[in-house]
Homo-oligomer: A and B are copies of this chain.
Amino acid sequence: MAPVRNGRVLFGEYPTGYPEPGKTTIYDDSETIDVDTVPLNGGFILKTLVLSIDPYMRNLMQPGGGYGTGYVPGKPIFTPGIGLVVRSESKEVKAGDHVCGHLVAEEFSIKPSLGGLTIIDNKHNIPWSTFVGVAGMPGQTAYVGWKEFSNWKQGDVVFVTTGAGPVGSFVIQLAKADGLKVIASAGSDEKVAFMKEIGADVAFNYKTTDTREVLSKEGPIDIFWDHVGGDILDAALDAANIGARFIECGMISGYNTGGAPVKNLMQVITKDITLRGFVFARSMPKYLEEFYATVPEKIAKGELKYTEDVSYGLDKVGDVILAVQKGTNKAKAIIHVADG
């Protein structure tokens, strides 16, 4: 086979505000690859099928990276994705295997070994894209955060922000399965409709309805699932019950604005609040078996609902990254790179 394009997404420069497509990230189609003949040196070659675009990526766009490993100017970005093994000289994988994990944002990758990737055993035949969504990192974030840090008890009132996203919508369904009252917010009426469909007792569009008013009427809240930080975290502190648990999963209100100061933190003292931040990977190992034993089947049966907002082609990555930061994406943002 002749060489084919190997498009990729490079990290351009550190943004100061919102990431700018073409500047913060640059789509580059100058490279080619001959999939059949490129030397593998005992490794394998992967065709990228799906990439995930997530809010926390903004934290990787700073020197060092908010999570320890950031993007490097001039180098391709990376993000959770699904790849198809096209050819392999490794004993670890064979052609036809699907793998998931952090992938380089390029059409074809040569890997010396599996490294942090895992082979997907898709026994319930769920869509590959779900392995970067509800069955992947975001789903696991919701699962482990809820199981490990909610300490829910009967009668608790839960407030979930970004409730139509892949984490928030899973949290809503976990909280409802546990029989709790759920208040959920998101930034469009379409998202509000989805949150109602998956069981939220109170769902509202925070752009047209005041969060404080809703919480004052429907609270006090016992569990807060935070993706926003800043003012919304302050509102949740004001509306918190004694002994409330705040699960800090993201603080997007500060990602593109140099931070979002929190003014009401004194209330963690007067109200005996536990505020727990977490990165899913550190807590997930003990839940991983349980997660894969239950979640994919629920997805296959339609018992666990999710939505996706799919864009096609690596050249869309920059736009989708920006949309996710601005919240103008309609649901879990997915880049479909290739069929497979």
In contact, A277 and B268 (Cβ under 8 angstroms):
yes
In contact, B248 and A269 (Cβ under 8 angstroms):
yes
- Asked whether A270 and B229 contact (CB < 8 A) given A251-B265, A275-B276, A282-B242, the answer is no
Which of B229, B273, B282 is the one whose CB lies under 8 Å from A266?
B229
Decide if A36 is an interface residue (CB 8 Å cutoff): no
In contact, B251 and A67 (Cβ under 8 angstroms):
no
In contact, A265 and B229 (Cβ under 8 angstroms):
yes
9 contacts between A and B (CB under 8 A): A229-B266, A248-B265, A248-B268, A268-B275, A268-B276, A272-B279, A273-B277, A274-B275, A275-B276
**Digit string of A248-287 for contact with B (CB within 8 Å is 1, else 0)?**
1111001000010111111111111111111100110000
**How many angstroms between the C-alpha atoms of A149 and B276 in the bound complex?**
13
Residues of A near any B CB (own CB < 8 A): 59, 66-68, 229, 233, 242-243, 248-251, 254, 259, 261-279, 282-283
List 14 additional contacts besides A68-B270, A268-B277, A270-B279; criterion CB under 8 Å: A59-B266, A233-B265, A248-B268, A250-B269, A251-B265, A251-B266, A259-B263, A259-B266, A261-B263, A268-B275, A269-B277, A272-B282, A274-B274, A274-B276
Q: A249: which B residues are within 8 A, CB to CB?
A: 269
Across the interface, name the chain B residue whose C-beta is closest to A68: B270
In contact, A269 and B279 (Cβ under 8 angstroms):
yes
- Asked whether A277 and B271 contact (CB < 8 A) given A265-B251, A266-B229, A266-B259, the answer is yes
**How many angstroms between the C-alpha atoms of A153 and B264 in the bound complex?**
30
**How many angstroms between the C-alpha atoms of A277 and B237 in the bound complex?**
12
Across the interface, name the chain B residue whose C-beta is closest to A226: B269
Across the interface, name the chain B residue whose C-beta is closest to A278: B272
Q: A242: which B residues are within 8 A, CB to CB?
A: 282
Q: A279: which B residues are within 8 A, CB to CB?
A: 269-270, 272
In contact, A251 and B277 (Cβ under 8 angstroms):
no
CB distance from A147 to the nearest CB of B (A): 15
Across the interface, name the chain B residue whose C-beta is closest to A233: B265
Across the interface, name the chain B residue whose C-beta is closest to A279: B272
In contact, B275 and A251 (Cβ under 8 angstroms):
no
